Amino acid sequence: MAQAVGGGTQPVIIIKKIKKGGGGHHGGAWKVAYADFVTAMMAFFLVMWIIGLDQPTRKAIESYFKDPYGFMKSSHGGVSPIGTGESVKIGQPSPLHQKLDMSSLQAAFKQAKAAIAEEIAKSPELSGLKDSVSIQLTDEGLRIELMEKTASLFFNTGSAKLKERTKRLLAVIAKQLQTLDNPIMIEGHTDSRPLGRSGGYSNWELSTDRANSARRAMEAAGLNPKGILAVRGYADHKLLHPEDPTHFSNRRVTILVAYVKKDEY
pLDDT(223) > 50: yes
- Of 71, 98, 125, which marks where a domain is finished? 98
Query: Which residue from 166, 194, 192, 191 is spatially nearest to 255, judged by alpha carbons?
Result: 166
Q: What is the CATH classification number for the domain harbouring 161?
A: 3.30.1330.60
Is 94 in the same domain as 158? no
- Of 53, 74, 98, which marks where a domain is finished? 98
pLDDT digits (tens, 9 = 90+) for 225-235: 999 999 999 99
pLDDT greater at residue 115 or residue 11 = 115
pLDDT digits (tens, 9 = 90+) for 128-160: 898 999 999 999 999 999 999 888 899 988 899
19 within a domain of the structure (yes/no): no
Between CA 262 and CA 185 the distance in angstroms is 11
59 within a domain of the structure (yes/no): yes
Predicted model pTM: 0.61
User: Residues 153, 126: contact at Cβ < 8 Å?
Assistant: no
Is 110 in the same domain as 211? yes
What's the confidence (pLDDT) of residue 165?
A: 94
pLDDT digits (tens, 9 = 90+) for 46-62: 888 878 777 777 777 77
Average pLDDT, the chain: 81
pLDDT greater at residue 21 or residue 198 = 198
Residue range(s) defining the domain that contains residue 57:
30-98
**Range scoring the smallest mean pLDDT among 46-50, 112-116, 167-171:** 46-50
Strands 184-189 and 228-233, sheet pairing: parallel
Exposure string over 222-253, b if 16+ CB within 10 A, otherwise e: ebeeebbeebbbbbbeebbeeeeeebbbbbbb
pLDDT(171) > 70: yes
Q: Could you please report the per-residue DSSP string of 31-91?
A: HHHHHHHHHHHHHHHHHHHHHTS-HHHHHHHHHHHH-HHHHHHHHT-SS-TTSSSPPP--S
Average pLDDT of the segment spanning 172-195: 94
216 within a domain of the structure (yes/no): yes
* Structural domain total, the chain: 2
Is 60 in the same domain as 76? yes
7 within a domain of the structure (yes/no): no
User: Residues 92, 44: contact at Cβ < 8 Å?
Assistant: no
- Of 98, 118, 144, which marks where a domain is finished? 98
Is 214 in the same domain as 235? yes
Query: Which residue from 198, 187, 200 is spatially nearest to 235, judged by alpha carbons?
Result: 187
Is 58 in the same domain as 171? no
